[in-house]
Structure 1
Amino acid sequence: MSIKVRDNVKDKLSMQTKTIAAFIAIVAAVALPQIFHLIGAAIGADTAIGEKYLPMHLPVIFVGLLIGAYTGSLTGLIAPLVSFALTGMPAKSMLPFMMIELFGYGFAAGIIKNIINTEEVGAVKSLVGNTIKVFLVQVSGRALRAIAILFSFHVLGNKAIKPIIITKSISAGVVGIVIQLVAIPIILYVINGRKHE
């Protein structure tokens, strides 16, 4: 694993490619939670299963790390809006905070993608590097969400969402956080390996 800014000319993707990637990621970010909610309803877990596995986060983080900050940010902002418009989820009170959090994931993923190079190293270093990337992205998105909630509560006087939700959502989503740390690095490694074949 090496830390360096990669050649931007080599990494530039067309606007069409970025738009298609954002569209696919938004569809996935809207569809995956619905699939999880259906599974939750079938097994009696209701919507809590979505809070546990964090399915909306996966496409946003993944597309940011794969394509870049523009696509990741766009996906993070739009996916919760589309989901709310079509399904009523997330709840209206949580929507702005979800948008901020997912924007943070997408943006941070795109920035970190260009700083930590894990494409031209061995398997172990690549997986470790990609895991570090995902962890840094998780911290960035959660921190941005926490700042937004604290600002809303203490400065704007919005008492609908209390600061305790910051720690509650982390503890509720531990399984989803671990899945992200395991699955995304493996998928990125496989994709990067195929690119270099």
Structure 2
Amino acid sequence: MAQLRTKRQTVTLKIAYGGLLIALGILLPQAFHIFGQEAGMIFLPIQIPVFMAGLLLGPIYGGIVGAAVPILSCVLTAMPPVPKVYFMLFEMVAYGVASGLLKKKFNVIVSILGAIIAGRLMYGAALAAGVSILGIHAPFANSAAFISTLVTGIPGNLIQLTLLPALYIGLKRGGFTFDER
């Protein structure tokens, strides 16, 4: 089925998927925040649609979704809060771009794992730059808070490494991916 799509149809479908994933990136964290602020930091629901965007749509759309989700979520729901959203923006773009790039060469699990590492490194680099260059001082902007965030998010990363491959495989079997292989 995927081979029968024209280029225009593919672009239209990718834009539609991207819009759906952006909406999920805004709504999914709100569902988790019902269980408390910590639920979002533990289960990392905002990241799931961004990883899917990279895996399904490639690095460009993944990066766009990664940029749009934290900004729109902040504007519409005040989560993530300012100034944290500025740092998360770099992290989320890295997740979308890295998962899309890695998916071209590796399987889904390796792509997600590599994207997790890339995104966390980007978040740390953005925090370091914000503190040293811009002089930003916030409770989340220090090395202890960064390490705490990494540890707190391990359950979310494990969910991502189990849920996303299963979801991707299901979509692929149903003909809802854009894979060329």
Question: Aligned partners of 1:84 and 1:141: how far apart in 2?
Answer: 19
Cα deviation digits, residues 162-194 of structure 1 (max 9, x gap): 232221111111110100011111111222233
The Cα of 1:102 is off from its aligned counterpart by: 0.5
Larger Rg: 1
Partner residue in 1 for 2:39:
49
Question: Aligned partners of 1:92 and 1:75: how far apart in 2?
Answer: 19
Q: Which amino acid aligns with 2:96?
A: G
Q: Which amino acid aligns with 2:170?
A: V
Partner residue in 2 for 1:63:
53
Matched-pair identity in %: 27
The Cα of 1:47 is off from its aligned counterpart by: 0.6
TM-score by length of 2: 0.87
The list of structure 1 runs, each at least 4 consecutive aligned residues, that deviate by more than 6 angstroms after superposition, is none
Q: Which amino acid aligns with 1:144?
A: M
Q: Check whether the contact 2:22–2:49 (CA below 8 A) recurs between aligned residues.
A: yes
Equivalent runs, 1:1-197 vs 2, <5 Å: 14-38=10-34, 40=35, 46-116=36-106, 129-160=107-138, 161-195=141-175
Question: Aligned partners of 2:109 and 2:104: how far apart in 1?
Answer: 15
Partner residue in 2 for 1:43:
none
Question: Aligned partners of 2:175 and 2:22: how far apart in 1?
Answer: 24
Question: Aligned partners of 2:87 and 2:130: how far apart in 1?
Answer: 10
Do the aligned partners of residues 17 and 194 (structure 1) sit closer, same or farther apart at CA in structure 2, a change above 3 Å counting?
closer
The Cα of 1:26 is off from its aligned counterpart by: 0.6
Q: Which amino acid aligns with 1:175?
A: P
SS of the residue 2:174 aligns to: helix
Q: Which amino acid aligns with 2:67?
A: L
Range moving further from structure 2, 13-22 or 62-71: 13-22
Structure 2, unmatched stretches of 5+, are: 177-181
TM-score by length of 1: 0.80
SS of the residue 2:149 aligns to: helix
Question: Aligned partners of 2:172 and 2:18: how far apart in 1?
Answer: 19
Do the aligned partners of residues 81 and 17 (structure 1) sit closer, same or farther apart at CA in structure 2, a change above 3 Å counting?
same
Q: RMSD over aligned Cα, in angstroms?
A: 1.9
How many residue pairs were aligned? 169
Q: Check whether the contact 1:153–1:163 (CA below 8 A) recurs between aligned residues.
A: no
Q: Check whether the contact 2:98–2:111 (CA below 8 A) recurs between aligned residues.
A: no
Q: Which amino acid aligns with 2:17?
A: A
